[in-house]
Chains A and B, each alone.
Chain A
Amino acid sequence: MNISETPFEFFTVSYLTRIGNQSAGTMTEFHKGLQECSDASIFHHTFQTLGIHHFLTEGFSNDFAQWAHADAGREDLAEQLAALDVRDYLSIAALRSDLCRVVGEYCTEHPAFSEQTALDRFYFCESVEVTLPFGLTARTLEEFRDGIVHLSHASFYFHFLSSRLRLQLQTNDFSHWLANGLGLETLADSVNHIDFYTNTLDGARAKVLRLIDREGRKG
């Protein structure tokens, strides 16, 4: 049985949504807001919204795309914004840059639409994060499995999704520890390939557990 020298420590996270000072009623204002809002706001409307709305596995990607679709009525732009996959980004700056590019190009190509008033305004909010140890640690694959079973949604989200930004790597806490702590690189890779856009957090957790069980049977 592999025993990691560095234990995996499970944390939980809780967020407050802070209402920002910016809002947008037109696409031009939306573009400006994307350029000027805080990094915490970009995080809130992309990464965190996936955690909050994890049960929406069909057609929900981020708050920006949802606003373009439901309030601004710009389906083509919504589609482009929804196609941005947070897994491709190692920093908020890079994600913001692409969001601004997509909306900026849309405004340039459709000047008439860019000044139309949306049904409802978009309010730029941001996340205030509080993290605490969940009180569980793991040194073996079995302990790790047991920890994952007992996690809350927020804790699973913290390690599986938002960790990508913290690690600034195209991976997550679980995969990082499986590879570096237990040397299980194939398992780490499989866990990292679970699609959280088409799975609920419970669905993703069930897949992680199945992969661990399969690895356990090998041993």
Chain B
Amino acid sequence: MSEVAIATRIPLDEYTSLLGQGEIDELRVLAKPLRGRSIEMINSTAVGGGVAEILNRLLPLAEELELNMRWDVMTGGDDFYGVTKAFHNALHGAPYHADPKDFEIFLACNEQNRARLPLDAEFMIIHDPQPAALIDGRKKNGNHWAWRCHIDLSHPNRAVWDFLDKFVARYDAAMFSSPEFSRSLPIPQYLFYPAIDPLSEKNRELEGGFVARTLAQYQIDPLRPILTQISRFDRLKDPVGVIRAYRIVKRYFDCQLVLAGGGASDDPEGAVVLKEVQQEANGEADIHIIELPAWAPLEVNALQRASTIVIQKSLREGFGLTVSEALWKKKPVVASAVGGIPVQIIHKHTGLLAHSVEGAAYQIRFLLSHPEIAAKLGENGYQHVKENFLITQKLKRYMTLFLAMARAK
């Protein structure tokens, strides 16, 4: 185990111009009874992945509110991470043959990590399955333990879930990104959303010149409608389906499609999917397939800001924060009604939901034909994100959880 030191300071007042003084004052009011009380977050990686990205922004804000929050990362060997990757996929519904040795490796690693940490903070937040068995190290000091699950558990592999269930049931609470992901558990289950940071490189305002240069770099025409899906090259994001929807739209509108994502170069499966996408595109000049570096926040920001419509046509989705990113930029979004997306897209209010290639194409055509409705959806979407999916709201939700758990004892 090792504590993650975060060098960045994010003054809370920098959010005032975006959110208003009242919202910032309210965070201080909620933080006041929690000052000095210890909080510990534990996950399995300090870099890469959505959880690390959120914790990197959450901790400095917690510090601004004088909360005593620390973040520890569990350590494990390649065998452990091999097992947890298989568990992760199995919990998402992928085929998995239960091997008793996998469970032994998982338990042994959790035990090693238990020995290294005091685990005595008043509020313990354990993220995702990897450190779930740390609950075995719970002290008899009456502290509060909550398990935050970021993955889609709607159709989990039975053997893996039955194994994890024994640990999760001993927590005081569990948090999921969508009601659909909740399980039958004897503990309270809460809805907790991932969040974006409006001041991060991926979401902050950009100069028009940078956006124009990004489009020029990828030879995208700024004068014609741009349909964009940002996601890694993964079959569950259905990039081929997006191209098919685009082709239907293209019969009626002279538009361009941007499919941009990272990670294909170091992910064998991603490289295969990228090839499939290139084959489907068949060299069509108006389909821009862009392989971004794994971390390219400014490019993503620019491509989203330049888009006429943002698409997220996933077949399965944990939460789909790219939807919140697009809404924050006041973009009209057409997305699949899967996972956490319907929480972000309230159909016909903050965007449009679709259930098929043809449905997605229809909704895109509708928005291209009605730019005033598209603008209204984008504006509503921005407000929805502001109220519910910003990092400040996430911190507020955590503080509410701590206050509610403390009150319950």
| Chain A interfacial positions (CB closer than 8 Å to B) | 12, 14-19, 21, 23, 52-56, 59-60, 66, 69-70, 119-121, 123, 125, 128, 130, 132-135, 150-155, 200
Which listed residue, A23, A130, A152, touches B400 by the CB 8 Å rule? A130
Stretch at the interface among B136-144, B159-167, B188-196, B291-299: B188-196
For window 28-55 of B, CB contacts with A under 8 Å fall at 29-30, 32-33
| B403 interface residue (CB < 8 Å to A) | yes
Are A119 and B383 within 8 A (Cβ)? no
Q: Mark B179-209, 1 if CB is under 8 A from A, else 0.
A: 1101010001111000000000000000000
Are A16 and B404 within 8 A (Cβ)? yes
21 pairs, A vs B, C-beta closer than 8 Å: A14-B403, A16-B397, A19-B179, A53-B384, A53-B387, A54-B387, A55-B380, A55-B384, A70-B348, A119-B355, A120-B342, A128-B400, A130-B400, A130-B404, A130-B407, A132-B29, A135-B25, A152-B23, A152-B26, A154-B26, A155-B22
Which residues from chain B contact A154 at a C-beta distance below 8 Å? 26
Are A19 and B176 within 8 A (Cβ)? yes
> Known interface pairs A53-B346, A70-B348, A132-B33. Does A12 touch B26 (Cβ–Cβ under 8 Å)?
yes
Which residues from chain A contact B383 at a C-beta distance below 8 Å? 55, 200
Q: How large is the interface on B (under 10, 10 to 19, 20 to 34, 35 or more residues)?
A: 35 or more
Are B30 and A125 within 8 A (Cβ)? no
Are B190 and A18 within 8 A (Cβ)? yes
**How far apart sit A14 and B30, CA to CA, in the bound complex (Å)?**
9
| B401 interface residue (CB < 8 Å to A) | yes
> Most chain-B Cβ atoms within 10 A of its Cβ — which of A14, A119, A151?
A14
For window 320-376 of B, CB contacts with A under 8 Å fall at 337, 342, 346-350, 353, 355
Q: How far is the CB of A9 from chain B (nearest CB, A)?
A: 13
Which residues from chain B contact A119 at a C-beta distance below 8 Å? 337, 355
Given A130-B403, A150-B22, output 10 extra A-B contacts at Cβ < 8 Å.
A14-B403, A19-B189, A21-B184, A56-B346, A56-B349, A56-B380, A60-B346, A120-B342, A130-B400, A152-B20
Q: How far is the CB of B378 from chain A (nearest CB, A)?
A: 12
**How far apart sit A157 and B188, CA to CA, in the bound complex (Å)?**
25
Which listed residue, A70, A125, A152, touches B353 by the CB 8 Å rule? A70
Which residues from chain B contact A123 at a C-beta distance below 8 Å? 179-180, 182
**How far apart sit A182 and B400, CA to CA, in the bound complex (Å)?**
34
**How far apart sit A167 and B125, CA to CA, in the bound complex (Å)?**
37
**How far apart sit A69 and B347, CA to CA, in the bound complex (Å)?**
9
**How far apart sit A23 and B179, CA to CA, in the bound complex (Å)?**
9
Q: How far is the CB of A121 from chain B (nearest CB, A)?
A: 7
Which residues from chain B contact A56 at a C-beta distance below 8 Å? 346, 349-350, 380
**How far apart sit A16 and B349, CA to CA, in the bound complex (Å)?**
23
Are A18 and B189 within 8 A (Cβ)? yes
Q: How far is the CB of A64 from chain B (nearest CB, A)?
A: 14
> Known interface pairs A130-B407, A132-B30, A155-B26. Does A17 touch B191 (Cβ–Cβ under 8 Å)?
yes
**How far apart sit A134 and B213, CA to CA, in the bound complex (Å)?**
47
| B388 interface residue (CB < 8 Å to A) | yes
Which residues from chain A contact B22 at a C-beta distance below 8 Å? 150-153, 155
Which residues from chain B contact A15 at a C-beta distance below 8 Å? 400
**How far apart sit A152 and B348, CA to CA, in the bound complex (Å)?**
27
Which listed residue, A16, A53, A59, A66, touches B190 by the CB 8 Å rule? A16
Which residues from chain B contact A54 at a C-beta distance below 8 Å? 387
Which residues from chain A contact B190 at a C-beta distance below 8 Å? 16-19, 128
| B92 interface residue (CB < 8 Å to A) | no
For window 266-290 of B, CB contacts with A under 8 Å fall at none
